[in-house]
Amino acid sequence: VKERKWAMRLFVAVTLEQELKEYLNGRQKAMQVYCRRGNFSRPENFHLTIKFLGEVKPELVPAVTQAMDEGAGTVRPFQLQLGRWGYFSRGEKKILWVGLQGETDRLLELFRNVDLALAKRGFPKETRPLKAHITMAREAQLTEEWEKVVASLPLEPRPVPVKGITLMESSRINGLLTYIPLYYRSLG
């Protein structure tokens, strides 16, 4: 039996359908051509973060799943779609992402509900606004101007159905960052 470390690195996410992951992987590979370097997300790790929890003691996981049940219970399933490329800057390095659009008011409701339910259970409230995105790469350094890169990488407005939320554990397995689903809660 593997000894459990003192804390688990957790987040609540919307997982993506396999077909969408494959499409995004193709767009990601096209983006790599314009990158001098970068840490590119593995396609199986593509997701939409609802709430990053960070290090959580295993005994607090039931409180997280209760909060997920409470937060997701009143939100009906809804649909987003792929939007546009974007980035967050960290000096010369960028975090590259694909933004989401569509029923973002429902996404915001889900985000607020889950955040509030977690806060009632002692977890810190989110201080930053929700920026709906799927991370494609971290520490990316581009070889071309951003506008030129995105002009050459159109995104189809593919549907992103949101039917539930998943509690994920971020772990390193054989040196690879791996997201392990621990709990799923359907919406509504």
| Structural domains of the chain, count | 1
Q: How far apart are CA 85 and CA 96, in angstroms?
A: 7
**Mean of the per-residue pLDDT values of the chain:** 95
CATH number at residue 179: 3.90.1140.10
Flag whether 135 is in a domain: yes
Q: How far apart are CA 108 and CA 134, in angstroms?
A: 16
Q: How far apart are CA 148 and CA 51, in angstroms?
A: 32
Flag whether 148 is in a domain: yes
Kindly report the pTM of this predicted structure. Answer: 0.92
pLDDT digits over 54-63, tens only? Answer: 999 999 999 9
Flag whether 159 is in a domain: yes
Integer angstrom CA distances of residue 10 from 6, 13, 126, 153: 13, 10, 15, 32
At CA 124, angle to CA 119 and CA 130, rounded to 5? 90
Q: What is the predicted pLDDT for the residue at 5?
A: 57
Flag whether 1 is in a domain: no
Q: What is the predicted pLDDT for the residue at 118?
A: 98
3-state secondary structure of 56: strand
pLDDT digits over 74-123, tens only? Answer: 999 999 999 999 999 977 789 999 999 999 999 999 999 999 999 999 99
pLDDT digits over 118-139, tens only? Answer: 999 999 999 999 999 999 999 9
Flag whether 44 is in a domain: yes
Domain limits for position 22: 8-186
Flag whether 181 is in a domain: yes
Flag whether 140 is in a domain: yes
Does residue 1 register a pLDDT over 50?
no
Flag whether 101 is in a domain: yes
